[in-house]
Chains A and B, each alone.
Chain A
Amino acid sequence: MAQEYTEYLAINVLNEQQLVSYRSLSRALKVHSNLAKQMLYEFHRKQNAKRPGSVHATYLITGTRRPESPSQTNGAHSQEDGGDTVMQSSPPLPGSSAPQHEEDAEEPVSVRSVLLVKEEHLEQAKATFESITGIHIYSLQANGLSDVQSLTECNRKITASYASEDPLQAWKQYGTIQNPNVKRRTQRRGPPPPAPVAKAAEPKTKPLAPTTKPTVLERQASKESKASQESKPASKPTSKPSSAKATPEPAKKPATVKRQDSDIFKSFAKGRAKPKKQDSQSSAEATTPAAAEPEDEPMGGFSDEDDDAEDGAADIDEVPQEPEGKSKKEREADLQAMMDQEDEIMEDAAEAIPDKTAAEEDEGAIDRPVSRQAEEPAKETVTVENGRRRGRRRVMKKKTVKDEDGYLVTKEEAAWESFSEDEPAPKKLKTAPATSTNKPTAAGKKGAAKAGQGNIMSFFSKK
């Protein structure tokens, strides 16, 4: 036993530099708190005998303090009770027939103090006491205690780490006052674990659920509104490998079907779709390079460009996204795990999805502008003048409009913009067009894809 506590204290106080209170010691060694106090004292004495100042203590003093003590929080009492005599001057209370105020206003009220004090102030504190009924070590720590309030940490740890103990049984060994009459509900639903870790973990998984829903719904909603994101042949194949790679299809479908008729989710979809689209888009992009190459044939213009972008020396856009894509993948994995739970409805999905894709293919109003651009390269008129290039080029501009339903719709529109830049830059531009028809459009399209609807659709669409 003796070794045990010395060892425990040596490890925790000296090595780990932790605060150890008599309570945490009594919990750790399962001993009576009074014994723990003595252990703290013994350890403190021995250690400081070996090496003075190696262990600091805080003391808890109980007793009666001198009334005129300056540090008294409220020096009121004793004086105040005397001061109450003002009352005779004050006129009778509401004319009550009762004898007024022959109450013993001067009756002394005993004030006991429980004072926590640091080792260095011990003598000083003792001097403020008229009589001391008890004193013991409250806690030990290796270095001086900068903030006394940090002692609350001890009790917080105790509640956290001993939450599983049944207080009615376990606390007896700590010397807690027992109460034979305690009533506790019999059908005891375990209280929520106080572990903050669990709480922290929860929010992390939660956001995932919404991420899937909106996307799926977005598709649903837009299909209904005939805004019709045509799933461009171009983008479809691209995303196919990527999504197939990241998330097994079955996982996705049930979700789609499940949410089909939920209006609430639709309303969410409007709001959330945008960030989500970006996510899925970027994840699609991120996964593309690896997956896309083997399946070259079906790729249309769009994916071509994506590839070009990869190949082209200058894809600045893609570079920062690469690492991000990794985390996306992780998220997808999580998502997949979540969706796997919903697998039961698979058959429905199989039925539902084909005609949907068919419908989607028919009308492609929203995404049409995008594909159109893919076809007609933006014409640039360039004049080179003493080292500078000037001209006009076509760029895509985002426009956000409120539609007749009151929703905000972001569209890409081509616009002409004049530019002027240094000579060296165009060189780079000029080499690029060899592979990809022209850089600006690609960039524009990427923007378009991000904001537009097409790619998400492809990401989640039926293959």
Chain B
Amino acid sequence: MNGQDPSTDTSLLETPDMSTPHAVLDRTPSAYTPHPTYRLPPGSARHYQNQYADMYFARLAQLKPATLAIAADAFDTFSIADETARRVDRVLDVRQGELCWVVGTCYMEMPLKPNVLDDIGKEHWIAAPPTRVKYDHPSVALEAGEGAHGAHAGGTGGVGTQIMLEDESGRLRLTGSFLRGCLLVTGAIVAVVGTENKDGDFEVLDLRVPDLPRQPQRWEADDGNTALTGKKPGSKKKRPRAGKVAIVSGLGISGDEGDTLTLDLLLEYLLGESTSPADQEDASTISRLIIAGNSLSHASPIPSRQDVITAATKNAAKASGTRKYGYDSAAYNAAPTDRLDQWLASLLPSMPITLLPGAQDPTSTSLPQQPIHAAMFPHSRNYMAPPTATTKDGDGEEVGWFDSQTNPADFTLDGFRFLGTGGQPVDDVYKYIAGEERLEMMEAMLRWRLSAPTAPDTLPCYPFQDEDQFVIKDCPHVFFVGNQPRFETTLIEGPVGQAVRIIAVPRFKETGEVVVVDMETLVPEVVRFEVFD
């Protein structure tokens, strides 16, 4: 230790040796194919007048078959006191006292959940209520009508929470102590077995979710393409050993603080300029950087509540002039965007980057967030795919070296399927569920097959018409979620051997941490950048 450690490389603390040239390393290549799963139709084809009800309808239609299949396995033999559970098609067909099972969409009624009808009713509110940490409220008294039922201290919900199951026909209130142990949020498709009690509530005895969808084999998409192009799939070339991928989120460049030193350290590390030769070699195996949201800290087109308050106090202080359409152009600060652009441009000559937007980034605020526009990156956009290359279907699209992606994003990296978000879906699910186990919530999202289960209820999203694009069709190998309070990871398995690496990526600005995932083993490690003081 303290430098006496034999493993310590002190070669850089020696007299410069001009005779032996220092090695210049080459970076491991990265095989990358983005999938346009979360791309919205361009301009004129994008319609916002659709009803969100269609989305729930589509979601149920898409996930019902899978849920039915799983539930049928489990519930068809389910019997209590010689009564076998019977499948009921619609929730309204449930008969009192009869053991049956039914599939529907979950709906949560919670005391603190934002409700548009409440908003209209309470127009006398001076300001919008603060953002909730949790929609659940433990101290809300039982004064609400369902207090009489007293049954809704269900797992997910505390007092005052009602869980309902709905489909095209109607709604059914769920109850029973079993629910206490379930993670449930609005929008999840579930199958429940039980009976209707005398209060007209459905006593749940067991519950099933769609579970993980089919997981493609590694390199499946690539091999499929080779097959299509006429080459024999068997003749695939020997693939080089894949490197690593670095995932970072929450760079949070604000431009008003001199706190970007760790950002510089990260840059130099990834470029392979800092650290010792051995570490540099390690860095050269990092084949790609993924930025999972919130690269900027105050750039959302809809300023956060906090930003508005700060801006208001600032304005009051200087009593600024009139603003046109409520926008104060003088308050716009280009420095953070410029800094981000410079940072990316310094990195791009050495490594490819995939950029996902997050809640604070300058793009659409509703999910799926569309890529941050190239105009934000005057320096880095030389590495993006030229705009002419964008084709309608997205398949023929040239992949940019710097790929500004959607949020959520779906891509194949070194043969593995990745699904990632900037964090909003998990943060919203978190509000429904008591507890702090974000990994469980991420797992639940995968098992519900929904990348944004609470959209459109409490998470703004595009009103999909024909199908709900948040339904996960291919099980990813890696599911990463940005902007989480701390690094966490786990490996989950599906019913037919699917294995998913789940990674909660911490905010870099707060933790200085970057997650580096080995692309052969999918084992993550953390590199932390700090300044000692």
| A-to-B contact residues, CB < 8 Å | 1-2, 5, 22-23, 26, 32-35, 37-39, 41-42, 60, 62-63, 71, 73-74, 76-77, 80-81, 84, 86-87, 90-99, 101-105, 107, 109-118, 121, 123-127, 129-138, 147-152, 155, 159, 167-168, 171-172, 174-185, 187-189, 191-192, 194
Contact = CB atoms under 8 A, between A and B. Distances in A.
Given A32-B21, A155-B268, A194-B379, 15 more contacts: A22-B274, A74-B511, A80-B486, A93-B447, A94-B190, A94-B209, A95-B206, A96-B208, A101-B490, A103-B491, A132-B7, A135-B9, A181-B30, A182-B352, A182-B383
Interface stretch (B43-51, B307-315, B523-531): B523-531
Nearest to A102: B493
B272 A176 contact: yes
B468 interface: no
Contact of A126 (B2, B345, B486): B2
Contact of A177 (B1, B15, B26): B26
B487 interface: yes
B276 A77 contact: no
A184 B440 CA distance: 41
Nearest to A118: B532
Contacts of B513: 73-74
Q: Which of A91, A94, A136 counts the most chain B CB atoms within 10 A?
A: A94
B272 A175 contact: yes
In this complex, the member of B155, B275, B352 whose beta carbon has the largest number of chain A beta carbons within 10 angstroms is B275
Contact of B493 (A35, A99, A131, A179): A99
B269 A114 contact: yes
B271 interface: yes
B190 A134 contact: no
A90 B156 CA distance: 12
Nearest to A178: B26
Contacts, number: 322
A177 B27 contact: yes
A179 B349 contact: yes
Given A117-B532, A126-B2, A171-B350, A178 B276 contact: no
A152 B261 contact: yes
8 contacts: A116-B261, A133-B7, A134-B9, A135-B9, A138-B274, A176-B271, A178-B26, A182-B401
Given A151-B264, A178-B27, A183 B532 contact: no
A108 B309 CA distance: 43
Given A138-B274, A171-B350, A35 B16 contact: yes
Q: Which 3 A-B pairs have the closest CB atoms?
A: A134-B276, A91-B181, A136-B12
Contact of B180 (A91, A111, A127, A192): A91
B302 interface: no
A72 to B, nearest CB: 8
Contacts of A127: 1-2
Nearest to A160: B342
A131 B7 contact: yes
B150 interface: no
Contacts of A37: 12
Contacts of A115: 529-532
The size bracket of the interface on B is 35 or more
Given A93-B183, A147-B258, A177-B280, A172 B24 contact: yes
A62 B5 CA distance: 13
Contacts of A134: 8-9, 12, 275-279
B111 interface: no
Contacts of B208: 94-97
Contacts of B383: 182-185
Nearest to B494: A98
Contact of A159 (B30, B346, B488, B494): B346
Between A1, A123, A134, the greatest number of chain B beta carbons within 10 A of the residue's beta carbon is seen for A134
A454 B267 CA distance: 63
B529 A177 contact: no
B530 A73 contact: yes
Given A71-B532, A73-B512, A155-B264, A94 B29 contact: no
Interface string B234-277: 00000000000000000000000011110011011101111111
Interface string B347-382: 011111000000000000000000000000011001
Interface centre among B268, B278, B492, B530 (most CB of A within 10 A): B530
Contact of B525 (A112, A137, A185): A112
B284 interface: yes
Contact of A1 (B8, B18, B183, B494): B18
